[in-house]
Amino acid sequence: MAKTMIKPGPDLLQRVNQAFLDHGYSGLSMVTMAKACGFTQRALYYYFSNKEDAFRAMIQYRNDEAMELAREAGKAIGAKGGSALDIIAETLDVRYGGTRRRVNRSPHMVELNAEAFRRCRDIIIQVAIAFQAELEQLIVDLENRRMLTLNGRFTAAQIAQGLADGGRAVNQALPVIADEDYKGRYRQACEMVLYGCAAMPKAKMITAKMVRPKISKPKTSKRKMPKRK
């Protein structure tokens, strides 16, 4: 008879998260994880088939949690009268910054980052698409509330893509950003995407004189006159 698996709750997933932060991926066994979580090894196997299963469940939980917290943080800033930039910057900081600050404190940061992309790429892509869709809707809502005026050059979807790309770029910046500087860097990236940082060059006026084609004269053949005798 197949063993019935139990869905892990937030408390267990937070303990699993801390175990990976403390020991890294390669340094953590199911035995060590069970001790860190306050479980017997046998009991832990009712929640996770193996270490990778536990890692993937933790990554999914942390990403889902970050998205929910980001959503609520943006709403809270808006309720306090924050600007469109305030709302979007706070949303990105909570969505991305919370994770980066947590992972940056671990001596296994580089390994955990690499393992997340290696073993959880499908989860990361799925969450990225979902968050980008939420950003797009947020931009539409802000425009409808007249807090943001789009100039028509880019769609809400394209702006959301730029914001998400900027947030991920801040996450992977080298050298690693100090914890206290993440908020400012996300805001800077948001401001650049939303309002730009340089004036577009004006298109050159093309006058008729400038494009006047050269008229080539038809070649005339010189007729030789007969010599007079």
Domain at 42, CATH number: 1.10.357.10
Summarised one tens digit per residue, pLDDT across range 185-199 is: 999 999 999 999 888
Greatest pairwise CA separation for the chain in angstroms? 128
- Each residue's pLDDT, cut to its tens digit, for the chain (229 residues) gives 567 899 999 999 999 999 999 999 999 999 999 999 999 999 999 999 999 999 999 999 999 999 999 999 999 999 999 999 999 999 999 999 999 999 999 999 999 999 999 999 999 999 999 999 999 999 999 999 999 999 999 999 999 999 999 999 999 999 999 999 999 999 999 999 999 988 878 876 555 555 555 555 555 555 555 555 5
Domain assignment present for 116 = yes
Domain assignment present for 171 = yes
Structure tokens at 81: 């009268």
Helix (H, G, I), strand (E, B) or coil at 156: helix
Domain assignment present for 35 = yes
Q: What end-to-end distance do the CA atoms of the chain give, in Å?
A: 125
**Structural domain that includes position 148:** 10-195
Domain assignment present for 20 = yes
Domain assignment present for 224 = no
**CB-side neighbour CA atoms (13 Å) of 223:** 2
Domain assignment present for 37 = yes
Domain assignment present for 217 = no
Domain assignment present for 184 = yes
pTM of the predicted structure, to 2 decimals:
0.85
Summarised one tens digit per residue, pLDDT across range 49-72 is: 999 999 999 999 999 999 999 999
Q: How many structural domains does the chain have?
A: 1
